[in-house]
Chain A
Amino acid sequence: MVVKRKASLAERINKKLANKSFWRGVTAVIGFFAVWQVSCMGVLPFMSAIPTPVEVAHAFWKLLFDPKYWAGWRDSSLRVFYGFVAAQILGIPLGLGMGWNRNFKHLTFPVFELLRPIPPLAWVPVSILFWPTNELSIAFITFIGAFFTIVVNVLGGVGSIKKELVYSAVSFGASPSQVFWRVVLPATIPSIATGMMVGIGITWNVVIAAEMIAGNTGLGRLTWEAYLAGYTPGIIVGMISIGLAGYVSSGLVKWVSELLMPWKRIF
């Protein structure tokens, strides 16, 4: 039998450096920045509106010291957080309920399916008309984004639970409520995780757009203001920041969901 020992950090770095794929990737990324730099230095006329990587880096550096930039991070993140969490709190029970109780599903699912194809941003005016504050309106839109996703995923998750799991619990004498809490709920956790991962991506998308349309602070708003002011490096810095923020939050969600699923981590 072969025993695999965990490679030390040095070994892993060495392995990475020797890996052809890694270097190809590096080449591609460097190439991308090189092409960007050159084509925006005035060589190609229609690209001259786009700032070069150097200009962007410069602008980024300046903004790091601007408190408004960090306020933008804070405001956008809070909106994402509130909307996302609200969507989970309302959506997971709804999905579980729909999956568990057929009558409830027949009652609620058709209406749900009717509302689902409506893009979240189409709700903006309704949201503004309904909610008393601007913050709540934007949070509601992010909620919509994540809500439909999580319900669909949870519903799918409940539907795909192996019947044998439920049957064996019942044969051990479990009551319906025990079956629900001890079997159905844990078995649905992977689907909840998937729903959360897809949902967080949508949420960021939605927040940015909502801020551009109707917000007064936030990363989306800052990007839009840079556009209005004609400060093009600022636009790109905004885009990169939003991308980073999305990346970080996806990573966080992934980490949390892995914590909830210890049995999946074994391999």
Chain B
Amino acid sequence: MQTALILVALAALILGLAVWRIHKQAKLYEVGFGRQLATTLSSKSFQLTLAGFVIFVGLWWVTVSLLKLPWFNRLPGPVEVVSEWLSPEPTFGISIYTKDYYTHIFYSTYRATAAFLLATLLGIPFGLLMGWNKKFYDYSLPLVELIRPIPPLAWVPLAILVLPGSEPAVIFVTFLVAFFVTTLNTLLGVESIDENYFRAAKCLGASNKDILFDVVVPGALPYVFTGLQISMGASWFSLVAGEMIAAQYGLGFLIWDSYSVIAYPVIFIGMATLGIIGWASSALVRVVGRRLMAWREAELSGSARVEV
């Protein structure tokens, strides 16, 4: 009964999103909703997308559950995974009903967010300073280039030794990746600003502080946000590795642990959850970026160019 409710809720959510999308398209093309719906459903792109998913899940099912091909025989099939995920009494203890599932999600999200925020708060000023002040750039660039090639995951053993406990170590390693990505993209952003904006500001009487806030920061923002999206993805990448090596709790830990205790469907649950959260966090950064850079939206949305 409960499974059915959950399924209905999920279906409603997906349907709602679809309806919203079709509504927006109908407005764009100035046709009625019904007409747009018909167009979308019969359009090649929609059908092919659907076909793509069906083929993917189908192949998975056929190779694993139906034919039980040699290399595929230890993997769980789609039916197993989904029923486990949605079952109120999961065989291996992890499903959307169990508290543990959310504990793991919480730990991973908290670590990733902490590392990401720390890297952003430190990386952006660092990058701005590097782009703004030549002296600082000269001193800091060699150090950055010295440390950067070392893959962040190679820091894990050292971090575990030095920092108290594995929690800070995992966050630190995640922070490192995000920090370098953010700093370098911010630096690129500052360097990408057209010289003439600086000149214009100076002509108009701006002091150095004014230029920093009125030219450098807004000018670098597009690159900064691209960097933030990359850093978000990189954070999850490092975090999972760190968790697999050294943590208790967390989705990375869950995936590895499930393998050790032969709870294979949970591996897939973990992967899917990571995928969803990873996508959602990048989308969040993207949305925030669009909000802050209203001028780009106005430009790109193709609002009719005001003519002479």
User: A and B: direct contact (Cβ < 8 Å)?
Assistant: yes
Residues of A within 8 A of B (CB): 20-21, 24-29, 32, 46-47, 49-50, 102-103, 106-111, 114-126, 128-132, 202, 204-205, 208-209, 212-213, 220, 223-224, 226-227, 232, 235-236, 238-240, 242-244, 246-247, 250
B150 A115 Cβ-Cβ under 8 A:
no
For chain B, the bracket of interface size reads 35 or more
B interface majority secondary structure: helix
Chain A residues with CB under 8 Å of B134's CB are 21
Give complex CA distance A130, B134 in Å: 52
The yes or no answer to B88 lying at the interface (CB within 8 A) is no
- Asked if B155 is at the interface of the complex by the 8 Å CB criterion, the answer is yes
CB distance from A43 to the nearest CB of B (A): 15
Query: With the chains together, A132 CA to B71 CA distance in Å?
Result: 7
Which chain B residues (28-83) contact chain A, with CB distance < 8 Å? 44-45, 48-49, 51-53, 55-56, 71-72, 74-75
- How many A-B Cβ pairs are below 8 Å? 172
State how many angstroms separate the Cβ of A27 from the closest Cβ of chain B.
Answer: 7
- Is B162 within 8 A of A46, CB to CB? yes
Q: Chain A interface secondary structure, helix, strand, loop or mixed? A: helix
Judge whether B52 and A125 touch: CB under 8 Å: no
Instruction: State which residues 62-119 of B face A: CB under 8 Å.
Output: 71-72, 74-75
* Complex CA distance for A21 and B146, rounded to whole angstroms: 16
Q: Assuming A110-B52, A235-B157, is B236 touching A244 (CB within 8 A)?
A: no
For A132, list chain B residues within 8 Å (CB).
71
Which residues in A have their C-beta under 8 angstroms from that of B3? none
Q: Which residue on A lies nearest to B256, using beta carbons?
A: A125
Give complex CA distance A262, B55 in Å: 42
Tell whether A117 pairs with B151 under 8 Å between CB atoms, given A25-B139, A28-B139, A107-B52.
no
Is there contact, CB below 8 Å, between B271 and A118?
Answer: yes
Within 8 Å by CB of A125, from B45, B267, B275, B279, lies B267
Assembled-state Cα–Cα distance A154/B240 (Å):
27
Q: How far apart are the CA atoms of A24 and B56 in the complex, in Å?
A: 56
Q: Is B264 in the interface zone, CB < 8 Å from A?
A: yes
CB distance from B39 to the nearest CB of A (A): 15
Cα A246 to Cα B152 with chains together (Å): 12
Q: List 8 A-B contacts (CB under 8 A).
A: A25-B139, A122-B274, A205-B152, A208-B151, A227-B157, A235-B161, A243-B151, A250-B149
Does B51 lie within 8 Å of A122, measured CB to CB? no
- In whole Å, how far is B247's beta carbon from the nearest beta carbon of chain A? 12
Interface mask (B200-224 → A, CB under 8 Å = 1, otherwise 0): 0000000000000000000000000
B53 touches A110 (CB 8 A): yes
Kindly state the separation between the CA atoms of A132 and B156 in the bound complex, as whole angstroms: 28
| Chain B residues with CB below 8 A from A213, complex form | 241, 244-245, 256
The reply to whether B158 and A111 contact each other, CB–CB distance below 8 Å, is no
B20 within 8 A of A: no
Q: How far is the CB of B41 from chain A (nearest CB, A)?
A: 14
Give the docked Cα–Cα distance between A227 and B159 (Å). Answer: 11
**Considering the chains assembled together, what is the distance between the CA atoms of A131 and B71 in angstroms?**
6
- Pairwise interchain contact B278-A119, C-beta atoms closer than 8 A: yes
Q: Are A122 and B154 in contact (CB under 8 A)?
A: no
> Contact partner of B158 among A24, A107, A209, A235, CB < 8 A?
A235
The smallest C-beta distance from B6 to any residue of chain A, in angstroms, reads 20
In the assembled complex, how far is the CB of residue A110 from the closest CB belonging to chain B, in whole angstroms?
Answer: 5
Q: Say yes or no: B157 contacts A223, CB within 8 Å.
A: yes
Across-interface contacts of B162 in A (CB, < 8 A): 46-47, 49-50
Check B44 against A106 for contact (C-beta < 8 Å): yes
Supposing A29-B142, A119-B237, A235-B158 touch, asked if A124 and B52 sit within 8 A by C-beta, the answer is: no
Measured CB to CB, the nearest residue on chain A to B137 is: A21
A32 near B143 with CB under 8 A, answer yes
Q: Which residue of B lies closest to A232 (CB)?
A: B161
**B149 surroundings in chain A (CB, below 8 A):** 243-244, 246-247, 250
Q: How far is the CA of A202 from the CA of B234 in the complex (A)?
A: 9
Chain B contacts with A in 146-202, Cβ cutoff 8 A: 146, 149-158, 160-162
Q: Are B255 and A239 in contact (CB under 8 A)?
A: no
Contact partners of A244 in chain B: CB under 8 A: 149
> A124's contact among B156, B237, B256, B272, by CB below 8 Å, is which?
B256
From the candidates B233, B239, B256, name the one contacting A117 in the complex (CB within 8 A).
B233
A148 and chain B: residue at smallest CB distance: B233
**Which 3 interchain pairs have the tightest Cβ spacing?**
A117-B278, A227-B157, A125-B259
Chain B residues in 8 Å Cβ range of A25: 138-139, 141-142
Collect the chain A residues with CB atoms within 8 Å of residue B45's CB.
102, 106
What's the minimum C-beta distance from A191 to chain B, rounded to whole angstroms?
16
Chain B residues in 8 Å Cβ range of A106? 44-45, 48-49, 52
CB of B282 closer than 8 Å to a CB of A: yes
Least distance between A231 CB and chain B CB atoms (Å):
10
